[in-house]
Structure 1
Amino acid sequence: MPGDLDAVAGLHTRARSDYYRGFVEEAELTDPAKAVARRDYWGRILGSDDHTVFLAHRADRPVGFAMIGACAHPDPDPRVSSEMHLYVDPGSFRQGIGTDLHRACVRAWQAASVSTARLWVQDFNQRAQAFYRSQGWAPDGHHRPDSVGLLGYILGIPAAD
């Protein structure tokens, strides 16, 4: 999976720029130092045994990814044992990629006997919030400890069929 670092970091940067444009300063989106920091972060994740990354391809091109694994911050809900990050390339929205990635995460959580998962989403990202609600996630009123702008959502993982 470390060979996927450029694809994952690039997808994250493109998706983040699209989602956040108009809500954060343009300099925040285009700062090369922040892009390097994101790439370093994903490099650590891809090399970690505590995380699983799913990379979606269409026509041999990476178009989305999801990461599940250990929570980056102590979770305010004691039932939560894993968190998810999910990003889809802006040119590939509404093609089922996010849904397919989400299903892969749920299957992995089921296999690992995870009962409750967490994700954090920007308060202004209505598109993502609607998607997560459509997948069964529910806001729980918590904010990530390091950012009050990140709203907490939880998902009870259904038993495997």
Structure 2
Amino acid sequence: MAHAAVRPALPADAPEIARIQCDTWRTAYTRILPAAVLDELDVTAVEASWREAIDDDRAAVLIATEGDWTVGFCVVGAAPAEETAGADGVPAPDVAETGLIASLLVEPRWGRRGHGGRLLLAAGEELRAAGARRGIVWVPIADAASLAFYKLAGWAPDGLSRTLDTGDRTVRELRLTGPLDFQAAEVNEDPESGQPAE
């Protein structure tokens, strides 16, 4: 295997991030998102969104590489208050110390090579450096591999779920939470192959 690493994304990385997102969604999200949503993905528009995200200092975009290839990405930042809220709508008492993993995706053909684990380790470091003590992530209930990945890293559902309306169907997600001091041994396996996220 060529040298594998994680680094902050640059604006020049936006085309590859967009390609990975669109290609992976079209192959791995078929059980989760309606075909119409996947068919309407516009790589050019997605690329423009990624350029904005990379330039926005409110979140960190990280990419995983293997040799010269970009193989995955992760987006992390402070959790918005509403994302931490309980069923009563009241934000968590530790909202100021809660980080959000907004996205973590490895292209399936690069799965099971440790890239997801490296991204998660880097995400934890990034969030801790910003003052977070714990993290949250929303994962579709149908995404068993991602749920297993986060559980392996010591995260667990906190009892809250939400339903997203995609137009043709709904997607139910669970919120998972846990500490950010990941250990390499906990996240050295990637269950992302064939799945939309870790």
Bin of the TM-score, shorter chain as denominator length: 0.7 to 0.9
1:67 maps to 2:84 = no
Q: 1:144 to 1:47 in 2, by over 3 A?
A: farther
1:92 maps to 2:110 = yes
Structure-to-structure mapping, 1:21-100, within 5 angstroms: 21-33=30-42, 35-71=43-79, 74-75=82-83, 76=85, 78=92, 79-80=94-95, 81-84=98-101, 85-100=103-118
Contact 1:55 1:64 in 2 (8 A): yes
Give the TM-score of the pair, scaled to structure 1: 0.85
1:9 maps to 2:31 = no
Give the TM-score of the pair, scaled to structure 2: 0.70
Q: Which has the larger radius of gyration?
A: 2
Contact 1:14 1:90 in 2 (8 A): no
The Cα offsets for residues 78-126 of structure 1, whole Å up to 9 and x where unpaired, read as 2343211100001011110000110111112222221121111111111
Q: Which runs of 5+ in 1 are unaligned?
A: none
The Cα offsets for residues 113-144 of structure 1, whole Å up to 9 and x where unpaired, read as 21121111111111111111111111112234
Q: State the AA in 2 paired with 1:22.
A: R
The secondary structure found in structure 2 opposite 1:106 is helix
- How many positions carry a matched residue from both structures? 159
- Between structures 1 and 2, the one with greater helix share: 1
Indicate the structure whose relative CO is greater, using CA pairs within 8 Å and at least 6 residues apart. Answer: 2
The secondary structure found in structure 2 opposite 1:158 is coil
Identity %: 26
